[in-house]
A and B are shown apart, each in its own frame.
Chain A
Amino acid sequence: MPPVTLCVKEVLTSVPLEAESISPDLFADRSREEIEALPVAFGNEARRLGDFFRVDGERSEEIEVEGSIERVKWVGSGMTRGRIVIHGDVGMHAGSYMRGGEILVEGNASDFLGVEMEGGLIRVKGNAGHRAGAAYRGSKYGMRGGIILVEGNVGHEVGAYMRRGLIVIKGNAEDFLGARMVAGTICLFGRAGLRTGGGMQKGTIVCMHPVELLPTFAYDCTYAPVFLRILVKGLKRLGVQATPEQASGLYRRHHGDLADVGKGEILIAA
């Protein structure tokens, strides 16, 4: 089936639109009229999706959004299958609670991208905001599976409380990358901010550039982890090209955070 295309009818005001109904699970079995009738929240008003988007196509697991929708929240939240392509920016909470399928953002993604997701793939060609792949405030765990790939930079607390899955950042990360991480893998090709891995219990943070570590991380050894060869080879399938040194070179291994369980590891390219 050809994709369902959504075009913004008019530039949204500063009032955000909450549109978790933009999901392949909901579009797959619905006609164009039924898609237009799907509920959205415009501030505190209950409205129809068709009030804000022109809908072309029907009954498809593929959705294409023309233009930027940086004020539209919850796109693809909880989706389990299919694909959403956003030809522009996307608002907060995109792909949160996602369990399968793929979201491609050709612009930038706002905060809370893929928060507490359990599966699937989110790829952002631009930058992503704060707390991507992290936990919502009060939740015990963040991302529990799946992959987030950001080709640009990311904000603070990305991967915080992460429980499983993979976050790949080709650009730089701000502070508290992988803070209080419980498991999973973060691979940072750019530079990290402060307190990387602060409070982490387990899990792996791979940094391709030197990082200023907290004093509660202890140096172990310099070696070439075979696992990184598997990871780097897998990243090639996503179009992330690492250098041969990054795949098979030496890494300085530090474990921590010793203020907590201390079984996490930060691998820094030597």
Chain B
Amino acid sequence: MRQTIRIALLVLALGLIAWGVFAERHAIRPLVAGETRLADGTTFTADASVDGYVRIRGELFDAYTPLTPGQVQLKDCKT
């Protein structure tokens, strides 16, 4: 029984990683007018490491959208 569970969990883990690389997609909108971009698993992980999104009304927005022309917000984890 454990042998089956081990194989199943390993397949699940590898499947999640593969899905993360090839199929995981999160729609990220800019805070101001602009095109929505899609973040895959690696992008989501990298953006999560800098608290990169803001959730508003169920949608994800790029927390680093420059809100003022000429402004650049430094990506930095708030921790």
- Note whether A and B form a binding pair: no
